[in-house]
Amino acid sequence: MPNKLSKPEKVKNLCLAALEDLKALNIKEMYVEKISSFTSNIIVATGTSTRHIQSIADKVVDDLKDNKIKILGLEGDEAKDWILIDTGDVLVNIMTEESREHYDLESLWDRAKSAS
């Protein structure tokens, strides 16, 4: 019997594949289910330009919709320096290098893991 992926894992894998397809940089995934009440996984990736960030976000959204995964929220579409895609199980953050350095989500979640 084949190993069946859980829904959060399937969503995470779809998102990661889309990010890799469009050459997102410095992709980092964080498993946060034990310290978060609102999601299982957070993915952070960098785009090289606002156009690249938008293209990556479009690809992630299209791939999720093609697989009948409901998107609960899409934020930052108009700002273009940080786009957040929320599926409930997975939060995908696609950011410019400057935004990623400024908000430093990885350190924020690493500190939260250390405190738990």
From CA 75, how far away is CA 41, in angstroms rounded? 17
From CA 105, how far away is CA 90, in angstroms rounded? 15
The CATH number given to 7-96 is: 3.30.460.10
What sign for the dihedral angle of Cα 13, 59, 30, 35?
A: negative
> Which residue bears the tokens 């786009």?
83
Dump the DSSP string for 55-93. HHHHHHHHHHHHTTPPP-EEE-TTT-SEEEEE-SSEEEE
Residues 13-29 have pLDDT tens digits of: 999 999 999 999 999 99
pTM of the predicted model, to two decimals? Answer: 0.87
Whether residue 2 has pLDDT greater than 90: no
Residues 35-48 have pLDDT tens digits of: 777 888 989 999 99
Residues 77-103 have pLDDT tens digits of: 787 799 999 999 899 999 999 999 999
